[in-house]
Amino acid sequence: MDGLEARIVELEIQTALQEDLIGSLNDTVAKMQQTLDLQQAQLRLLYQRIQDRSPGAEAGAHQPADDVPPHY
């Protein structure tokens, strides 16, 4: 029975370590999701600000004169 008991103890240890690892990975994924959500919100805000600044950009009305440097 000692061999069987040792195997059971080893399996319990492995299970405990795996549960700890899964918890740690879950925390990491949750933090990454929060970061991604924040970045998406920031990107939406920047996109909206760009749209608000250039009303003609929505229709694709690009003027080549806008690209001319000021010294010309």
Model pLDDT for residues 8-66, shown as the tens digit of each residue: 999 999 999 999 999 999 999 999 999 999 999 999 999 999 999 876 555 555 677 77
This model's pTM is above 0.75: no
User: Phi and psi of 68, rounded to 5°?
Assistant: -75, 130
User: What is the distance between the alpha carbons of residues 72 and 64, in angstroms, rounded to a whole number?
Assistant: 13
User: What is the distance between the alpha carbons of residues 1 and 8, in angstroms, rounded to a whole number?
Assistant: 11
